[in-house]
Amino acid sequence: MKPRSQKVATAAFERISERKIDKTDTSKYATLVHKLPSMILQNGLAQTTGFLLAKNEAHHKALLEDLTLIFKKIDADFKDITDKDDKAFHALIIGSDLYKIMRMTREALEIAGWLRRYVQGILKIGSDGNNYLQENEKDKEGES
């Protein structure tokens, strides 16, 4: 049996690995992932998911989709939500009582932490949206 944190890490790793393969605009997605923990802490989980839901940009939708899929894997309350059903995900959050929303917020912060780690480790993109590999290659060229 895997510890809960290992399940979260595995699910986040799968999502970010798919983003690497997808090759869509990962820099905007990565920047948003880096901002996610502070968005949750400042605005709450319900407002953060509402914000992601309201935006009609690919990177906002991608992050909300990833949150939905990870929650589905780790939290039994989300098992009945169909894949990519962001509205049902948000509705479940805003319909929760105080204890559930506090638990979900802790889970969302843990998920956000793992997503940030993997964005840095797999996509090699920092909080400024710059690719670590490109910067390292430029530095090496400058040294030559």
Instruction: Supply the CATH number for residue 108's domain.
Output: 1.10.520.30
Q: Range of 92's domain?
A: 4-143
Indicate the number of domains in the chain: 1
Q: Which amino acid is located at 48 in the chain?
A: T
pLDDT tens track, the chain, 144 positions = 788 899 999 999 999 998 887 666 788 899 999 999 999 999 999 999 999 999 989 999 999 999 999 999 888 878 877 766 788 899 999 999 999 999 999 999 999 999 999 999 988 887 666 676 555 555 545 554
Q: Quick one: pLDDT at residue 125?
A: 84
Q: Quick one: pLDDT at residue 119?
A: 92
Q: Quick one: pLDDT at residue 32?
A: 94
Q: At what angle do helices 58-74 and 4-22 cross, to 10 degrees?
A: 150
CA distances from 62 to 5, 15, 59, 69, 141 (A): 22, 10, 5, 11, 34
Nearest of 52, 77, 58 to residue 19 by alpha carbon: 58
Nearest of 76, 67, 75 to residue 114 by alpha carbon: 67
